[in-house]
Amino acid sequence: MPIFFNTETNEFHLQSKNVSYIFSVLSNNQLGHLYYGKRIRHRNSFSHLARRQARGYTPAVYEGDHEFSLDLIMQEFPSYGTTDYREPVFQILQENGSRITNFEYKTHRIYQGKPKLDGLPATYVESDEEATTVEVDLEDEVIQAKITLLYTIYEDLDVITRSAKFSNLGKDTLQLTRALSASVDLRDSNFEMMQLSGAWIRERHLKVRKLERGLQGISSTRGASSSQHNPFLALKRPETTEHSGEVYGFSLVYSGNFLAQIEVDHYDVSRVTMGINPFDFNWKLESGESFQTPEVLMVYSTDGLNGMSTTFHTLFRKRLVRGEWRDKVRPVLINNWEATYFDFNEGKIIQIAEESKKLGVELFVLDDGWFGKRDDDTTSLGDWFSDKRKLPNGVEGLAKKIAQLGLQFGLWFEPEMVSKESELYKTHPDWIIQVPDRRISHGRNQYVLDFSKQEVVNHIYDKMATILKNGPISYVKWDMNRNMTEIGSLHFPADRQMEVGHRYILGVYNLYERLTRDFPHVLFESCAGGGNRFDPGMLYYAPQAWTSDNSDAIERLKIQYGTSLIYPLSTMGAHVSAVPNHQVGRITDIQTRANVAFFGVYGYELDVTQLSNQEKEVMKEQIEFYKNHRNILMFGTFYRLQNPFEGDGNFTCWMVVSEDKKEAIVGYYRVLARPNPGYRHVLLKGLDPDTEYTIEGHSETYYGDELLNVGLLLDKEYSGAERSENRLKGDFKSRIYKISSLI
């Protein structure tokens, strides 16, 4: 069993192939933390790892024992107010006004397998032998409440998952004012914190900062995980690189307001906490009720950032994403949005679909504008019925015509939103997130439906299910184009208004769960104005996400590079769009646009009827290349080789390697041309050092050890003297290198 319990010393040791995590029951019956890091051997006692020493001006728990102060002890699930002054994981307001608690260890259960979390997305197992779980019960006898801490360790993946369940066993009402999911105290602060931050159309840029004493962290208060900060952080040693060194990664399986925080105390202990953002949160816990927190995923690696990423990629692909599409390659799609925006009719759509079919496209996606009277973004959200002016045969009739062409058909929805100019709003103005007697802000002329109310969720389910039943629809793009403001509900009492943000996300999960259950053949892609809600919680229901509304190839280098720190290529929607690019106005050649988009779930966002014959031929070749290699591009092992966030950012390089190491594809990108440049090479990763490889377009062969240690000599750049067309000449250029074993 990968979880040991030392009965004499009350110590828990979670152990996988490469990782150990150890905590114990302290002398006050609370839980203390001892170690998290590289695997160590199990022994009958780890008490020698505890640090105890009396310190001046430090309050102690027990009279006469000056060493036992929670201000000095590494803890497992800390509270505030009984000698620990650091920010706690939880806080409970009681009817007498007290916030002081004393949750003591009562019992535990160790078993193989992993339980589901009620109403929440979480990682899973397909057989109980994959993982082992320990549930630890802590009880406070004064307030008659219980906290159940849930730990699961995946033996082969070096992943630990954590969450907590709060239960009110007494008669008095309790108020959870803070209910994070996990806390880890690390022994020192010699780390750099890495986060993925940005904004709309520049999501998940990699940011690095040195830890300092005090608080540092990221969060969202937008009602979504947000494009400003992803619910992920990593702590790496200063000397850690992409491929060597120690790193801890933390990710929250949640799509709403979150907090990911590190507090470095006066003795340089680093406390990592993560969970639902306590700002603007309160949960009323009546007698007999429970509250389950979202799941935190913890990954430790000594193989650098790429080692951490590989673990997260495998976990997300195999034990977070579910359903028919988890292990299937995705169809090459074309989306009409940038081709037509709202201005289309059935004839125009059929024309684009017919031409796309000739070029090898497999899936046509009809975007915004097919419903109600939707001619612009001011009307009709919530009215999920066909606009017969544009589609005289309805969306169902169009779907059948698309199917007759030999294409799959996909459809855009924005189920969480409503326009004031809509039948739904006129019938149910009380169905939006709002506060009485206050002005309601808008975004994109739309308002957020109150998904904390089950009746609203049921209504939207019925509308979407009717459309999905009546037409041959195999794909849904689920959009969400504004964040919450004036958060409140007309359907909950005053003392539950601070629950609305979390209840809303539970409503979104409920709708997703019902639709994915009832329409298992449909491929769902989550979208939130691009990557505004690209998080593990969404991937549980939708196996891919629209990475960013910014489809410019050069901007996508940073976006996709940063996203890959935790998310696999099979989750990243990546398309070739028209030029000049609609987000930044840049013109890049169609080959570079494709060379970036290949490393994701591939598609197009343009009007193929406006392409030249030469561009169409190139597009056919691109689609054929992707189809021939999409299995490795989606499910191979991904390696980041050159970081666009370092130096001047002029070069990016990455590669993907098949599981058997017989194939690899390298993508190399140069932003701006430079006069008379030197030679460039890059050290490859993941290949078999003893295998002889060919590189497409090269007459020589190379052994793996040469490519790993000497490197791949990249295509010669234009020096200003040659006239060869084979040189990398001009701005925004790229190359794809196809590597294959001789055997």
- Which of 112, 186, 116, 109 minimizes the C-alpha distance to 149? 109
pLDDT reading at 714 higher than 90:
no
What integer pLDDT is reported at residue 52 of this predicted model? 74
Which of these is catalytic: 549, 589, 660, 731? 549
Main-chain dihedrals φ then ψ at residue 537, nearest 5 degrees: -60, -40
Is residue 362 classed as helix, strand or coil in its secondary structure? coil
549 is catalytic: yes
The gap from C-alpha 227 to its chain's centroid, in whole angstroms, comes to 11
| CA dist., res. 470 & res. 396, Å (int) | 6
- Residue 578 makes CB contacts below 8 A (sequence gap 6+) with 338, 339, 605, 606, 607, 610
pLDDT reading at 715 higher than 90:
no
Contact between residue 473 and residue 409 where contact means Cβ atoms under 8 Å apart: yes
| CA dist., res. 262 & res. 193, Å (int) | 9
| Domain residue spans of the chain | 85-319, 333-418+452-485+508-632, 642-741
What integer pLDDT is reported at residue 678 of this predicted model? 83
| Rg (alpha carbons) of the chain, rounded to whole number | 27
- Residue 86 makes CB contacts below 8 A (sequence gap 6+) with 71, 78, 80, 263, 265, 271
| CA dist., res. 414 & res. 408, Å (int) | 20
- Opening angle at CA 75, ends 73 and 78, nearest 5: 115
pLDDT reading at 368 higher than 90:
yes
Is residue 134 classed as helix, strand or coil in its secondary structure? strand
Which of these is catalytic: 367, 479, 535, 552? 479
C-beta neighbour count of 434 within 10 angstroms: 21
367 is catalytic: no
Average pLDDT of every residue of the chain: 96
Average confidence (pLDDT) over 101-115: 98
HSE toward the beta carbon, residue 93, CA cutoff 13 A: 10
- Which of 311, 319, 191, 169 minimizes the C-alpha distance to 262? 191
Is residue 441 classed as helix, strand or coil in its secondary structure? coil
What confidence category does residue 67 fall into, taking pLDDT thresholds of 50, 70 and 90? confident
Q: Do 85-319 and 333-418+452-485+508-632 agree at the fold level?
A: no
Partnered with residue 426 across adjacent β-strands are none
Q: What is the pLDDT of residues 149-207, one digit of tens each?
A: 999 999 899 999 999 999 999 999 999 999 999 999 999 999 999 999 999 999 999 99
Lowest mean pLDDT among 59-73, 226-240, 349-363, 509-523: 59-73
- For the chain, give the percent of residues with pLDDT over 90: 92
What integer pLDDT is reported at residue 66 of this predicted model? 82
DSSP codes of every residue in 539-560 = HTT-SEEE--S---HHHHHHHH
What integer pLDDT is reported at residue 357 of this predicted model? 98
Amino acid at 417: M
**Of 1.10.3720.10, 3.40.50.20, 2.70.98.60, 3.40.470.10, which CATH number belongs to 85-319?**
2.70.98.60
Average confidence (pLDDT) over 648-652: 95
What integer pLDDT is reported at residue 724 of this predicted model? 56
CATH topology (fold) of 333-418+452-485+508-632: TIM Barrel (3.20.20)
Assess if CATH 2.60.40.1180 describes domain 642-741.
Answer: yes
pTM for the model: 0.97
Q: What is the pLDDT of residues 486-512, one digit of tens each?
A: 999 999 999 999 999 999 999 999 999
Q: Would you state the structure tokens that stand for residue 509, as one six-digit string?
A: 């999960």
What confidence category does residue 442 fall into, taking pLDDT thresholds of 50, 70 and 90? confident
